[in-house]
Amino acid sequence: MDKITTWPKVSVIVTTKNESNNIERFFKSVKNQTYKNLELIVVDNNSFDQTVLISRKYTTKIFNYGPERSAQRNYGAKKSTGQYLLFLDADMELSPNVVNDCVIEALFAAETAKDLGAKKIILVAPYFPYLRQDKRFNPGECVSLQTIAKNIDEDFDEVYIIDPHLHREKTLKHIFRIKSHRLTANPLIEEYIKKKIKAPVIIGPDWESYKWAQNVAEKIGCGFAIMEKKRYSSRKVKVSLNKRIDIKNKNLVFIDDMISTGHTLLEAIKAMKKLGARKVTCFAVHGILVENALEKLRKAGAEVITTNTIPNKVAKIDISNLIVDALKK
């Protein structure tokens, strides 16, 4: 039997809307993956450019569904036949080993270590994306957090995660049966701000970021406020400050656990600039930075700084010692 057919099938699901400038580069990077048992699914949202035409050169599994990215992804999951799902954006360009280096490789390694008699197997996941799907937001959705947590419980003895995206679950102990550890990069961000930014005012871009903003502001000893967010869709957000605060000629520092599309931050930056902010810096633990988020934020006049839980161009804060210190305990 061909070795490739014995590998678990991975369904690569990409959501698109007028991505003709990016999609060919994306498809070529998927085609060049070292992991070959892939199923490529495109879920388009009424593109009027050449996106669908280009997609037909690479896959027959092309669907039209909306109204936004989360709905597209869920629809793609329903149409998939793979054992594992990998959700990607059309403006991504993958290095050849991305799929191999993702969850599948970790599970393979754990299974192999167990077979070879390892005494203890620990998973260190600096960024754990499945925490974002911790409930069924729409009918028929997969609660991917529950699915992946079961696999981790079976193959690992302990798990370490840096600043997990917890909202409906209070702790990691509510998610995993195995021993779990929640690490935080807050002290590293605090140290960076103290050294690099004068007269900061900390702003949380929404209520979900409240704990990050408040904790950092209290440690530094500066003012802070929270932006109240009204979300109309995954891409349309309106924001306002929750209290009066003097920001004229101050260096505004936005802090959140992650920056994904950056749409919330973009609206917040515009509002703060109108109120007289001198400089805006956006900090995040996890720099996902999809849909050209970094370029958009820079164009809006903000500097962006993240940790290196996810490698990216602005990952200036190193978390390696945080992990090493935790494992030594």
Distance between CA atoms of residues 229 and 240, nearest Å? 7
Distance between CA atoms of residues 156 and 115, nearest Å? 12
Any idea what DSSP says for residue 35? Answer: -
Distance between CA atoms of residues 170 and 300, nearest Å? 35
* Radius of gyration over every alpha carbon of the chain, rounded to an integer in angstroms: 21
Any idea what DSSP says for residue 262? Answer: -
CA atoms within 13 A on the CB side of 49: 11
Taken as a whole, the chain contains a residue count of 329
DSSP, collapsed to helix, strand or coil, labels residue 125 as strand
CA atoms within 13 A on the CB side of 166: 16
Three-point CA angle 61, 66, 72, nearest 5°: 50
Quick check: 190 and 214 in contact, CB under 8 A? no
In this structure, the strands spanning 84-89 and 122-125 are unpaired
User: For residue 221, with 0-12 CB atoms within 10 Å meaning exposed, 13-18 middle and 19 or more buried, which class applies?
Assistant: exposed
Distance between CA atoms of residues 224 and 201, nearest Å? 6
Residues annotated catalytic, as ranges: 229
User: Strand order in 158-162's β-sheet?
Assistant: 122-125, 158-162, 179-183
Quick check: 229 and 261 in contact, CB under 8 A? no
Positive/negative CA dihedral, 255, 259, 265, 266? positive
